[in-house]
């Protein structure tokens, strides 16, 4: 007898010290169904999945999988039962190869021995990657892969378990349009095989493209589970946030002034002949696919990596930026792509994270004036609506959106005139995303020049005054806000120059 | 999960609660120390005697001084294994100039300079050469010991002036001079770590080196400064020890670096980086000193003492992880 549901979670409650993460949550997933799980940061989505997969134990509630009641104590139990997961935080073993990572924990050995059969693993990995149309050599070391390719490998790994249920937590956070298409092909293929997917994402447009059903959580409670066809963006956001969100991209048109930064003839092994300029009060969006070289160009501009040739002009004067120290002196701020990797000082407090780039201005007679630090931090917290229990809160404990705001505050404190924001709303929920967009508009209106690298086409289209598109290290086109469309950008991003 | 409060609202919360929360690590370490003191004062009538307590503090002062430098290294996710050898090198150099033929200050400055140079080399090799500090300071550990033996011809350098000996064996107002030096170094080191740009940068580099680079910090420069400071403090310890022994001993200080690292770690310094304090390290050194002293007073075999010391180090870190 075929069960109506592959997975039934009923009455799940989970408390952590001081906070109730989940309160009596129900979730039922049908077999061969793509089931989206949405909610703001802190709504309880990851917690619910971690309970399912055996990382946490629920305080109360029941889980029924494939007709049997289960209670996974270890992740291995869940894997063996047929549930695998792609985690939001990518954590590959950097010095091991793609094949070794995919087979981590289930290494293939020669018959009746402990000796690992590398060749067989590489062969099977190649087969898997080809099947999924992922173009990577299985012998590549994980640390040599970009964030985007790392995520593709994680996806492949979760699928290699031959599970009946695959949980995907923000699977597209680090990849761009073309790879997202590939992922959706994979998901549909899995659905065809009768596999169910639980898809957690903040990107609502993706959810509506792929999901059959949607479960909404808010503040640890179940709001509702609906058929994707019976709802829309606005209703979904309202359910997630509990209030009406006016506009997702509140870009207000302001005055755009003179060219304030120009890079000419940037060349390196990764990018070629790149020329980009940005004006005062302008938001310049840089679009492109994985491997386009956008981040690399900005890292070179910022003095983080060397290049073969290319000049930088600030306010029409040629400048030499050999290190981030120079860039900071020229009042350029850089919000990096991966805030946990190269932005935040995770074990340090909010105030330390906020003032670090501007520390010189708080020094009197060799010592730091903690009062001035406190004043500036409080000012930033007000200005950016940063939610934190206090200045000495460790930033690791803040939500993604607030962490991002702390980083923006850092650059505002040096009075940065030029802000480079690399994927500024990655891994951030809808409410916080809108706040950051509002903030970007405000800063642009105040005369700052903003360079925004983004892999989300709606964000590029909604926020940019002008859009530069890159493909395989070259600038393939430039569009104004008025003339830009999704199709035009995609054409340029895939190298089809008209 | 709506315990979301802005900074302004936070001010209305009880001050004591806040203080405890912010300083929880060191308060826990202090309570372990107090617990040990109470236990030992019950078990031995000699423990709480002033002479004994001063002895304990004087004994740990050398390790504490080295420990403060090492604390900074560990905060940046590095380590310094060369402290004991640098201590010996500085000791013999200072002693060779401290026999009265030169002003005492010359002997002291030359000894400190030896430590500073050793530390500078440590920092440069690891920061500029990209060699892990573990390896760089391991090399220095062996090399500096060799240099000490070469410089002193393998023999102790004796005949130190009275002024020199005062540094290690003298008393001011009834308190041994090394304790004063330790306190002075502690105050300076604490101010450096908590109230200067240098300190903020040290924590930042340890918290996330790449983020530090992106924020415009000259990471290499500050790493070199940290190791130079650590080397200087090791040298200071060497000068005090030579004064105490009335001789520059090329074989002095063996394993001191391990005790110094243990003090830092017991005191809450984390090898993951970005976490550690001077008061914590002092308490860590005191815990080890009190433990040592207590076991001696209780007539526990010195071999068992070593085992217990090892246990304390591991337990302290385990408790730390559970926080």
- Domain of residue B201, CATH code: 1.10.3470
Banded model confidence at residue A266, pLDDT cuts 50, 70, 90: very high
Those residues whose C-beta lies under 8 Å from the C-beta of residue B111, and which sit 6 or more positions away, are: B90, B91, B93, B94, B97, B235, B236, B238, B239
Q: Per-residue DSSP letters for A80-118?
A: HHTEEEE-SS----TTSBHHHHHTTTS--B-TTSS-B-H
Which of B7, B25, B77 should be substituted to probe chain A, the one whose Cβ sees the most A Cβ atoms within 10 Å?
A: B7
Report the mean per-residue pLDDT for chain A. 89
The answer on A399 and A465 residing in a single domain is yes
Using a CB-CB cut-off of 8 Å, the residues of chain B touching A356 are 200, 204, 212, 215, 217
A128 falls within a domain: no
Q: Measure the CA–CA gap between A27 and A196, rounded to whole angstroms.
A: 13
A191 falls within a domain: yes
B124 falls within a domain: yes
What does the pLDDT look like over B295-309, one tens digit per residue?
889 898 888 888 988
DSSP 8-state secondary structure symbol assigned to residue A397? G
The answer, yes or no, to whether residue B11 has pLDDT greater than 60, is no
Are B1 and A19 an interchain contact pair (Cβ–Cβ within 8 Å)? yes
B14 falls within a domain: no
CB-based contact, A405 to chain B, within 8 Å: no
Q: How far is CA A489 from CA A161, A456, A476, A493, in A?
A: 36, 11, 10, 6
Of A342, A347, A389, the CB nearest to B214: A342
Q: Cα distance from A343 to chain B (closest Cα, Å)? A: 5
Banded model confidence at residue A249, pLDDT cuts 50, 70, 90: low
Report the mean per-residue pLDDT for chain B. 91
The answer on A399 and A428 residing in a single domain is yes
User: Which helix (DSSP H) or strand (DSSP E) does residue A60 occupy?
Assistant: strand A60-65
| Residues paired with residue A13 on neighbouring β-strands, in sequence order | A60
- Assign 3-class secondary structure to B6-36: CHHHHCCCCHHHHHHHHCHHHHHHHHHHHHH
CB-based contact, A352 to chain B, within 8 Å: yes
Q: Cα distance from B55 to chain A (closest Cα, Å)? A: 35
DSSP 8-state secondary structure symbol assigned to residue B247? S
Using a CB-CB cut-off of 8 Å, the residues of chain B touching A410 are 215
b/e per residue, A59-76, with b = 16+ CB within 10 A? eebebbbeeeebebeebe
Q: Cα distance from B40 to chain A (closest Cα, Å)? A: 35
What does the pLDDT look like over B21-35, one tens digit per residue?
667 778 888 988 999
CATH (domain of A53): 3.40.50.300
The answer on A461 and A381 residing in a single domain is yes
**Angle, CA of A326, A330 and A336, to the nearest 5°:** 75
Domain that holds residue A365: 259-493
CB-based contact, A343 to chain B, within 8 Å: yes
What does the pLDDT look like over A12-21, one tens digit per residue?
999 876 677 8
> A134 is written with which tokens?
């992922």
Which of A359, A388, A393 should be substituted to probe chain B, the one whose Cβ sees the most B Cβ atoms within 10 Å?
A: A359
The answer on A475 and A413 residing in a single domain is yes
The answer, yes or no, to whether residue B5 has pLDDT greater than 50, is no
CB A248 within 8 A of CB A437: yes
SS3 call for B48: coil
The answer on A427 and A342 residing in a single domain is yes
* Domain count of the fold of chain A: 2
CB A452 within 8 A of CB A424: yes
* Domain count of the fold of chain B: 1
Of A43-52, A87-96, A186-195, B71-80, the range with the highest mean pLDDT is B71-80
What does the pLDDT look like over A82-115, one tens digit per residue?
999 988 777 889 889 999 999 888 888 888 788 8
- Range A210-234 average pLDDT: 91
The predicted structure's pLDDT at residue A435 = 86
> A473 is written with which tokens?
């290290």
The answer on A343 and A403 residing in a single domain is yes
The answer, yes or no, to whether residue A348 has pLDDT greater than 50, is yes
The answer on A287 and A219 residing in a single domain is no
What does the pLDDT look like over A403-451, one tens digit per residue?
999 999 999 999 999 999 999 988 787 778 888 998 999 999 999 999 9
The answer on A275 and A189 residing in a single domain is no
CB A297 within 8 A of CB A477: no
A113 falls within a domain: no
Which of A241, A274, A293 represents a domain boundary (last residue)? A241
Q: Cα distance from A23 to chain B (closest Cα, Å)? A: 11
The answer, yes or no, to whether residue B15 has pLDDT greater than 60, is yes
The answer, yes or no, to whether residue A195 has pLDDT greater than 90, is yes
The predicted structure's pLDDT at residue A368 = 96
The answer, yes or no, to whether residue B1 has pLDDT greater than 50, is no
Banded model confidence at residue B108, pLDDT cuts 50, 70, 90: very high
B232 falls within a domain: yes
B12 falls within a domain: no
Question: CB-hemisphere CA count at 13 Å for B64?
Answer: 32
B4 falls within a domain: no
CB-based contact, A19 to chain B, within 8 Å: yes
The predicted structure's pLDDT at residue B6 = 39
What does the pLDDT look like over B142-156, one tens digit per residue?
999 999 999 999 999
A78 falls within a domain: yes
Banded model confidence at residue A316, pLDDT cuts 50, 70, 90: very high
- Lateral strand order in the sheet of A213-218: A83-86, A165-169, A196-200, A34-38, A213-218, A221-227
* Burial classification of residue A95, based on how many CB atoms lie within 10 Å of its CB (0-12 exposed, 13-18 middle, 19 or more buried): exposed
Are A336 and B214 an interchain contact pair (Cβ–Cβ within 8 Å)? yes
The answer on A209 and A314 residing in a single domain is no
What does the pLDDT look like over A372-407, one tens digit per residue?
999 999 999 999 889 888 899 999 988 888 999 999
- Range A5-26 average pLDDT: 87
pLDDT > 90 fraction of chain A, expressed in percent and rounded: 59
pLDDT > 70 fraction of chain A, expressed in percent and rounded: 96
The answer, yes or no, to whether residue A483 has pLDDT greater than 70, is yes
Comparing A179 with B204, the larger pLDDT belongs to: B204
Nearest chain B residue (CA) to A353: B204
Q: Measure the CA–CA gap between B222 and B76, rounded to whole angstroms.
A: 10
A1 falls within a domain: no
The predicted structure's pLDDT at residue A41 = 66
Q: Cα distance from A14 to chain B (closest Cα, Å)? A: 12
- Overall size of chain A counted in residues: 498
A140 falls within a domain: no
Q: Measure the CA–CA gap between A374 and B92, rounded to whole angstroms.
A: 48
**Which region among B11-20, B84-93, B111-120 has the lowest average model confidence (pLDDT)?**
B11-20
CB B312 within 8 A of CB B291: yes
């Amino acid at each position: 007898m075929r069960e109506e549901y592959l997975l039934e979670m009923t009455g799940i409650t989970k408390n952590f010290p001081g906070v109730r993460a989940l309160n009596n949550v129900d979730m039922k997933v049908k077999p061969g169904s793509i089931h989206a799980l949405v909610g703001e940061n802190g709504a309880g989505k990851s917690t619910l999945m971690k309970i399912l997969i055996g990382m946490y134990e629920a305080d109360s509630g029941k889980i029924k999988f494939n007709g049997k009641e289960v209670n996974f104590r270890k992740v291995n139990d869940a894997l063996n039962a047929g549930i695998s997961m792609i985690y939001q935080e990518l954590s590959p073993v950097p010095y091991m190869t793609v094949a070794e990572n995919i087979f981590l924990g289930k290494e293939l050995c020669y018959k009746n021995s402990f000796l690992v059969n590398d060749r067989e693993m590489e062969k099977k990995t190649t087969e898997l990657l080809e099947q999924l149309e992922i173009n990577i050599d299985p012998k590549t070391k994980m640390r040599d892969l970009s964030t985007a390719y790392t995520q593709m490998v994680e996806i492949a790994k979760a699928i290699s378990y031959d599970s009946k249920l695959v949980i995907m937590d923000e699977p597209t956070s680090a990849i761009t349009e073309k790879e997202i298409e590939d992922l959706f092909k994979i998901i549909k293929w899995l659905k065809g095989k009768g596999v169910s997917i639980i898809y957690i994402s903040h990107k609502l447009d993706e959810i509506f493209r792929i999901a059959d059903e949607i479960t909404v959580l808010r503040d640890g409670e179940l709001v509702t589970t609906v058929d994707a066809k019976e709802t829309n963006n606005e209703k979904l956001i309202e359910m997630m946030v509990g209030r009406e969100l006016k506009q997702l991209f509140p870009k207000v048109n302001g005055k755009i002034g003179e060219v304030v930064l120009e890079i000419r003839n940037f060349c390196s092994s990764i990018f070629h002949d790149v020329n980009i300029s940005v004006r005062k009060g302008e938001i310049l969006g840089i679009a492109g696919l994985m491997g386009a070289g956008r981040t690399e160009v900005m890292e070179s501009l910022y003095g983080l990596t060397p290049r073969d040739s290319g000049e930088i002009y600030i306010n029409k004067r040629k400048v030499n930026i050999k290190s981030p120290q120079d860039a900071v002196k020229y009042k350029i701020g850089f919000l990096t792509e991966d805030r946990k990797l190269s932005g935040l000082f995770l074990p340090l407090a909010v105030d330390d994270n906020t003032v670090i780039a501007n520390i010189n201005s708080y020094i009197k007679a060799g010592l730091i004036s903690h009062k001035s630090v406190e004043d500036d931090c409080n000012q930033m917290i007000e200005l950016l609506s940063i939610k934190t229990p206090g200045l000495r809160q460790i930033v690791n404990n803040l939500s993604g959106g607030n962490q991002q705001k702390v980083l923006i505050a850092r650059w505002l404190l040096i009075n940065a005139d030029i802000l480079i924001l690399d994927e500024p709303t990655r891994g951030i929920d809808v409410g916080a995303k809108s706040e950051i967009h509002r903030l970007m508009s405000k800063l642009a209106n105040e005369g700052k020049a903003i360079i925004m690298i983004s892999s989300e086409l709606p964000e590029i289209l909604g926020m940019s005054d002008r859009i530069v598109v890159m493909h395989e290290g070259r600038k393939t086109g430039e569009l104004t806000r008025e003339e830009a469309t999704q199709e035009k950008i995609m054409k340029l991003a895939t190298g089809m120059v008209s | 999960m709506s315990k979301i409060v802005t900074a302004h609202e936070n001010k209305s919360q009880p001050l004591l609660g806040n203080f405890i929360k912010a300083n929880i690590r060191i308060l826990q370490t202090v309570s372990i120390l107090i617990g040990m003191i109470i236990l030992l004062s019950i078990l031995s009538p000699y423990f709480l005697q002033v002479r004994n307590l001063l002895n304990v503090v004087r004994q740990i002062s050398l390790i504490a001084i080295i420990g403060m430098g090492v604390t900074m290294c560990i905060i940046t996710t590095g380590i310094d294994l060369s402290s004991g050898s640098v201590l010996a090198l500085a000791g013999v150099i200072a002693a060779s100039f401290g026999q009265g033929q030169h002003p005492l200050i010359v002997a002291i400055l030359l000894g400190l300079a030896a430590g500073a140079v050793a530390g500078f080399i440590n920092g440069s090799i690891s920061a500029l050469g990209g060699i892990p500090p573990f390896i760089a300071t391991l090399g220095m550990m062996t090399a500096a010991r060799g240099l000490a033996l070469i410089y002193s011809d393998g023999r102790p350098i004796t005949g130190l002036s009275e002024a020199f000996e005062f540094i290690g064996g003298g008393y001011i107002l009834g308190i041994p001079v090394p304790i004063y030096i330790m306190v002075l170094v502690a105050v300076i080191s604490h101010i450096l770590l908590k109230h200067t740009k240098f300190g903020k940068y040290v924590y930042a580099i340890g918290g996330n080196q790449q983020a530090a680079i992106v924020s415009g910090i000259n990471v290499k420069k500050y790493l070199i400064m940290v190791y130079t400071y650590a080397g200087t403090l090791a040298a200071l310890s060497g000068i005090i020890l030579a004064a105490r022994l009335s001789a520059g001993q090329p074989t002095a200080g063996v394993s001191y670096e391990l005790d110094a690292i243990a003090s830092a770690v017991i005191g809450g310094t984390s090898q993951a980086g970005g976490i550690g304090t001077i008061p914590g390290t002092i308490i860590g050194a005191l815990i080890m000193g009190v433990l040592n002293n207590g076991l001696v007073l209780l007539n526990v075999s010195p071999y068992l003492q070593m085992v217990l010391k090892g246990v304390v180090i591991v337990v302290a870190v385990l408790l730390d992880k559970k926080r």
